[in-house]
A = this chain, B = another copy of it.
Amino acid sequence: MSTSDAAGPADRSQRQYNFSAGPATLPVEALREVKDELPVYDHVGASVMEISHRSPAYDEIEASAREHLRALLDLDDDWHILFLQGGARMQFYQVPLNFLPEDGVADYVVSGRWGVKAVAEAERVGGVNVAASSEDADFSYVPDVAEWDLTPDASYVHITTNETVNGNQMTDDPVLDVPVVTDASSEFLSRPMDLEGYGLIYAGAQKNVGPAGVTVVLVHDDFLQRRTQPLPTMLDYGTHAERRYNTPPVFAIYMVEKVCRWLRNQGGIDAIHAINRRKARMLYDAIDATDFYRGTVDPEDRSTMNATFRLHDSDLEPVFLQKAEQEGLLGLSGHRSVGGVRASMYNAMPEAGVRRLVQFMEEFERTHG
């Protein structure tokens, strides 16, 4: 699981530190379990990919994944846990389709690229009020809740609690007059959440929860009951809240079960949150210690999950990224829409990985500063 501290080409037949924004690093323990469980899963005579989604073995896996999520987030029975497909992108459409009447209005707070995409899909369904946006400042901050221009009778308020591309995070969970919906993809299970104000929380799994191919949706029953009817069966949250309707993405849910079990073994959300804060502090301290690097987000709104930064000399960025890759620090390129450097430090990234990155940054500055 580790790369040598000595500079030089890393052996990529071994695991390296992977800072990819998603699909992203997973707990190596979970991957080793998968390896052990091939080609036969736990005395069922077949692999987990080959058994019926109506079989007792699969029932157990899915029930265990749900139970871990309930325990980790302290969810009561009013919260439905759904395992859907299509990623956050599908949620951008499915949320308004279910909850925004054609003649209604939903408020959207836009603090990054994903919020912009969510607005575009909602506009196909009904009225959208952009209650706040930091687009004119390149999403370098999160608009303060006191300044959101909210519609009194909005169907919901949509936020993005962590903007993966822009590297900002909203850490106070808002409690408003109407239910809040959040795209929590890149911070889900990374910090304690106050669920009180939320009606629906969605997260593409491929950051903190599992591989690409499943989206975890938490929907509160009070909010669920407000949805429009009728809806296309597969896009109706009620279909999936009621029962296991269609063939689920079995392997991805099997991985979610492993990742959530791993997280509970780490001590749960509070324990991982403490580690996540230490990792973020270590990296941001390194960025702030010198003018050679420069964070792109206001310090109070910086994400613990996705740290975005630039080099003082942008011509050096390709050199930095190439050398990092050679040394086994993978996936550090900023999103293609913004460039620069992005270090994603999801739950499964060990502190030693961030320490190694900070060392590399110091070495790079000594050589190129």
Contact = CB atoms under 8 A, between A and B. Distances in A.
Interface string A55-99: 000000000000000000000000000000111011011000100
Contact of A89 (B38, B54, B245): B245
Interface string A115-136: 0000011001000000000000
Contact of A86 (B22, B86, B89): B86
Contacts of A20: 46, 50-52
A204 to B, nearest CB: 7
A328 B250 CA distance: 22
A52 B212 CA distance: 10
A310 B210 CA distance: 42
Contacts of A35: 35, 38-39
Interface string A1-25: 0000000001011111010111111
Contact of A232 (B34, B121, B328): B121
A40 interface: yes
A12 to B, nearest CB: 4
**Copies of this subunit:** 2
Interface string A195-223: 00000000010100001111000000000
Contact of A43 (B13, B25, B34, B248): B13
A176 interface: no
A354 interface: no
A294 interface: no
A237 B53 CA distance: 27
A45 B16 contact: yes
Which secondary structure dominates chain A's binding surface? loop
B34 A18 contact: no
A322 to B, nearest CB: 14
A28 interface: yes
Contact of A206 (B44, B204, B247): B247
A204 B90 CA distance: 18
B212 A250 contact: yes
A266 to B, nearest CB: 18
Contacts of A10: 45
Contacts of A90: 85-86, 234
Contacts of A265: none
B43 A12 contact: yes
A249 interface: yes
Interface of A: 10, 12-16, 18, 20-26, 28, 31-32, 34-35, 38-40, 43-47, 49-54, 85-87, 89-90, 92-93, 97, 120-121, 124, 204, 206, 211-214, 230, 232-235, 245-252, 255, 328, 330-331, 336
